[in-house]
Structure 1
Amino acid sequence: MHGLIVGGIFVLVGLLNAYPAIGMLGAKQLAGLYGLTFTDTNLLTLMQHRAVMLGLVGAFLIVAAFRRELQLAAFVLGFASMLSFVVFARLQDDPSRWISKVAVADVAGSGLLFVALVLYWLRG
């Protein structure tokens, strides 16, 4: 039973991480995600690359839901991805409401991932 819950959490957190991958489609999609305009093509390139990386993180978490041997690495990657964003957002003097929403989502995702980690250890 614990294995099913852990897997389900990996899928949920993976989808949460993969959602911003729509930003790879362009400035309009990124504006919808972050409430910013991306007129600087260099910034647009960086943010599109970020979207691809988040999609890869999400995909790895989803694959780990079905491959126990990948789950420890998925825990590390998931926590590192989400909690680093939370830390960077908290270091800002006045983050936008969009950034704050992403940080809250990452805190929630990290909380779910922590529950999965506890269940992972309990099942041995």
Structure 2
Amino acid sequence: MNKLIAALLLVAAVIHLLPLAGVLGGERLNSLYGLTLDETNLQLLMRHRAVLFGLLGTLLATAAFLPGLRPLALGAGLLSVLSFLLLAWGEPGYNAAVRRVLLADWIALACLLPALALHLWQGRTLSG
């Protein structure tokens, strides 16, 4: 069960690490999100977003190998994914690139929810 939890966390980690490429600048951000981010301030904010995703992805990957970090990683990952899915639900006019981001978040959710359930089940069986 521990290996399955780790595998699920690693899939979610990779999904969250992919946007880290946006740190490289506007061209990379444009290709990631299908937008023209020509404004310097917007690029700076999006590059910072990429750093935050890198931090979350690193936490998820680390939690795959350090079970003590799993509650924090699962909580942060689920908050990130669910918040974006809820925000997107209220905005139906997104482009194809953002649709790919949504699909990736659905996949991350499909990994994080069973990882959470298995983690909770594992804790229950160890204490009971």
* TM-score (ref. length: structure 2): 0.92
Which SS does the other structure have where 1:123 is aligned? Answer: helix
- 1:119 is aligned to 118
Structure 1 position 38, deviation (Å): 1.1
Aligned identity (percent) is: 34
Rate the CA distance shift 1:39–1:69 in 2: closer, same or farther, 3 A: same
Letter in 2 for 1:15: V
Letter in 2 for 1:81: S
1:1-124, aligned counterparts within 5 Å? 2-124=1-123
Instruction: Number of aligned residue pairs: give it.
Output: 123
CA distance in 2, matches of 1:78, 1:112: 10
- 2:126 is aligned to none
CA distance in 2, matches of 1:108, 1:93: 19
* TM-score (ref. length: structure 1): 0.95
In structure 2, the gaps of 5 or more residues are: 124-128
Q: What value does the CA root-mean-square deviation take over the aligned residues?
A: 0.9
Which SS does the other structure have where 2:36 is aligned? Answer: coil
CA distance in 1, matches of 2:117, 2:92: 34
Question: 1:7, 1:65 within 8 Å by CA — same for their partners in 2?
Answer: yes
Structure 1 position 36, deviation (Å): 0.7
Q: Which runs of 4 or more aligned residues in structure 1 lie more than 4 Å from their structure 2 counterparts after TM superposition?
A: none
In structure 1, the gaps of 5 or more residues are: none
